[in-house]
C-alpha cells in the first residue's frame, strides 16, 4: 500500500497490482507526488482512503513504467546505524577508536546530490574517479574497483518549514509524508581517498536509487517499536522519538541470491531525530526533501547493509551484477523494491 507515479498520474500499489488514480482529480493527475506531498496530513489521510476505495483501472505492477515518484529537493544522507558506523570506522581508521567523538551526540550526515537520485530499475554506470591504494605514492584516475551498495530507509518531506525555524522531534509526522527504500551506491576507493576532511562527495554522488513507491507513515503506525536505548542521553533538542523505531525487515538479493537480512528497528538515531537535527540550525525544509538513514547493519553476521561489511572488503559489485533491496514492515506492508544493474564504466 503505497503511492507512486506513472504515465497517467499517480498510482496506488495494491499487492502486486498498480491502480491508476488519475480519475480521482487534479492532485492525482500530476506527474509526481509533489502536490499531494505539500497538501498536509489531513489531505494525506483522505488520499489514502480515496485510493483504497478507488475502482480505477488496474494492472500488474511489473507492466507499469514507474517514474521517479517525487521531484527531489535536497538530499541528505545520515549515518545512523551504530553497527555500520563501528564496522566502517574499523575499516577506514584501523588504528583509532571506530566511533568518532561526535557520533553518539548527533546523527552525522553528508549532503548528497539531489539531481542524481533515480527511480528503481535504473542501471548504474560504474563511476570513474581518483583512487589510491594504500601502497601507492599517487592516485590514478579510472573505473572504481570497489563499487558497493548501501541499504537504507529514507523519508520524504511534505510540509516545508521556514528558514530559522526548528522542527522538533514531536513534529515529525506533521512534516513527513512517508518512506522509501534507498540504495546509496558507493565507490569505496573513491570515497576512501576523497572523504577527508569534508566527507563523501564523488564516491556517492554518481547515483542514488530509491523505490518507485512511497509508503505513507500513516500505514506504518502498527510497525512502530521502541528504538534502542541511547547512551549518553541526547541533548534536549534531540531527545524523544524513541517510539519511532520501525520494524521493517530488510533483504538484499545479489544475482538472485539473498546476501543480507536485517531490520530497520536497529537504527540508533530515529527518523524524527534525524529531521530535528537537520533543522536544528534553522535550515528550512522543502517539499520533496529526501533524507536517508545511512546504511542499516545489525549485530548478527549476514545482517550488514553493504558489501564492504558483508565480505570484509574482499568482494564488490561486478559489471552485470543485479541487485534488489526489499523491505517489509511487521504489519505486512511491503515497501517498494530498489533494483539496479551495474553497467561497465564509460571510456
Ligand atoms: Mn549512505
DSSP 72-120: ---EEEE---HHHHHHHHHHH-TTS-SS-TTTTTS--EEE--GGGEEET
Q: Regarding beta strands 186-187 and 208-210, do their DSSP bridges make them parallel or antiparallel, or are they unpaired?
A: unpaired
- 1, three cell numbers: 500500500
Write down the pTM of the prediction: 0.97
- Measured CA distances, 98 to 2, 64, 69, 91, 102 (Å): 38, 45, 37, 8, 12
Inform me whether the pLDDT recorded for 92 exceeds 90.
Answer: no
Distance 229 CA to ligand 1 centre (A): 23
pLDDT at 44: 98
What is the number of H-type helices and E-type strands within the chain?
8, 23
Q: What is the pLDDT of residues 100-148, one digit of tens each?
A: 999 999 999 999 999 999 999 999 999 999 999 889 999 999 999 999 9
Inform me whether the pLDDT recorded for 347 exceeds 90.
Answer: no
Q: What is the pLDDT of residues 142-185, one digit of tens each?
A: 999 999 999 999 999 999 999 999 999 999 999 999 999 999 99
Q: Which of 45, 12, 39, 8 is nearest to 287 (CA)?
A: 39
The Cα–Cα gap between 155 and 293 comes to: 8
Catalytic residue among 84, 111, 237, 277, which?
84
Contact 260, 241 (CB under 8 A): no
Inform me whether the pLDDT recorded for 340 exceeds 90.
Answer: yes
Residues 245-265 have a mean pLDDT of 98
Inform me whether the pLDDT recorded for 49 exceeds 90.
Answer: yes
The overall average pLDDT reported for the chain is 97
pLDDT at 232: 97
Distance 294 CA to ligand 1 centre (A): 4
Distance 153 CA to ligand 1 centre (A): 10
pLDDT at 93: 87
Q: What is the pLDDT of residues 278-308, one digit of tens each?
A: 999 999 999 999 999 999 999 999 999 999 9
Distance 201 CA to ligand 1 centre (A): 11
The Cα–Cα gap between 14 and 24 comes to: 16
CATH of domain 75-343: 3.90.850.10
pLDDT at 168: 98
Helices in the chain by DSSP H: which ranges?
34-37, 41-53, 82-92, 172-175, 188-194, 202-205, 271-278, 307-310
The Cα–Cα gap between 306 and 187 comes to: 11
Distance 292 CA to ligand 1 centre (A): 7
Query: On the CB side of 155, how many CA atoms lie within 13 Å of its CA?
Result: 27
Inform me whether the pLDDT recorded for 91 exceeds 90.
Answer: no
Distance 21 CA to ligand 1 centre (A): 33
Q: Using a pLDDT cut of 90, give the percent of the chain over it.
A: 97
Q: What is the pLDDT of residues 237-247, one digit of tens each?
A: 999 999 999 99
> 237 an active-site residue?
no
Q: Where are the domains of the chain?
A: 2-63, 75-343
Distance 42 CA to ligand 1 centre (A): 32
The distance of Cα 79 from the centroid of its chain, to the nearest Å, equals 11
Give residues with Cβ within 8 angstroms of 97, minimum separation 6: 89
Amino acid at each position: 500500500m503505497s503511492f507512486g507515479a506513472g504515465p497517467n498520474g499517480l498510482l496506488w500499489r495494491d499487492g502486486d497490482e498498480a491502480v491508476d488514480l488519475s480519475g480521482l482529480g487534479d492532485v492525482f493527475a500530476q506527474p509526481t507526488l509533489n502536490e499531494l506531498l505539500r497538501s498536509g496530513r489531513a489531505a494525506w489521510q483522505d488520499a489514502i482512503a480515496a485510493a483504497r476505495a478507488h475502482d480505477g483501472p488496474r494492472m500488474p505492477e511489473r507492466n507499469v513504467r514507474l517514474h521517479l515518484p517525487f521531484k527531489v529537493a535536497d538530499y541528505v544522507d545520515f549515518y545512523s546505524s551504530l553497527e555500520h558506523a563501528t564496522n566502517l570506522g574499523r575499516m577506514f581508521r584501523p588504528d583509532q577508536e571506530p566511533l568518532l567523538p561526535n557520533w553518539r551526540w548527533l546523527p552525522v550526515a553528508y549532503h548528497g546530490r539531489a539531481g542524481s537520485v533515480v527511480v528503481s530499475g535504473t542501471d548504474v554506470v560504474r563511476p570513474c574517479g581518483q583512487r589510491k591504494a594504500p601502497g601507492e605514492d599517487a592516485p590514478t584516475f579510472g573505473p572504481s574497483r570497489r563499487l558497493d551498495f548501501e541499504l537504507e530507509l529514507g523519508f520524504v518531506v511534505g510540509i516545508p518549514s521556514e528558514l530559522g525555524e526548528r522542527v522538533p522531534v514531536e513534529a515529525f509526522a506533521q512534516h513527513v509524508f512517508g518512506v522509501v527504500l534507498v540504495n546509496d551506491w558507493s565507490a569505496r576507493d573513491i570515497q576512501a581517498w576523497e572523504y577527508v576532511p569534508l566527507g563523501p562527495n564523488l564516491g556517492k554522488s554518481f547515483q542514488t536509487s530509491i523505490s518507485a513507491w512511497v509508503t505513507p507513515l500513516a500505514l506504518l503506525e502498527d510497525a512502530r517499536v521502541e528504538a534502542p536505548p541511547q547512551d549518553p542521553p541526547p541533548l534536549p533538542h534531540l531527545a524523544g522519538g524513541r517510539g519511532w523505531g520501525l520494524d521493517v525487515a530488510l533483504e538484499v538479493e545479489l544475482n538472485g541470491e539473498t546476501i543480507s537480512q536485517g531490520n530497520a528497528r536497529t537504527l540508533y538515531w530515529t527518523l524524527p531525530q534525524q529531521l530535528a537535527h537537520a533543522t536544528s540550525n534553522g535550515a528550512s525544509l522543502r517539499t520533496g526533501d529526501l533524507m536517508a538513514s545511512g546504511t542499516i547493519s545489525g549485530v548478527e553476521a549476514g545482517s550488514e547493509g553493504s558489501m564492504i561489511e558483508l565480505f570484509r572488503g574482499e568482494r564488490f559489485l561486478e559489471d552485470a551484477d543485479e541487485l534488489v533491496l526489499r523491505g517489509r514492515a511487521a504489519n505486512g506492508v511491503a515497501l517498494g523494491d530498489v533494483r539496479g544493474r551495474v553497467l561497465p564504466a564509460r571510456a
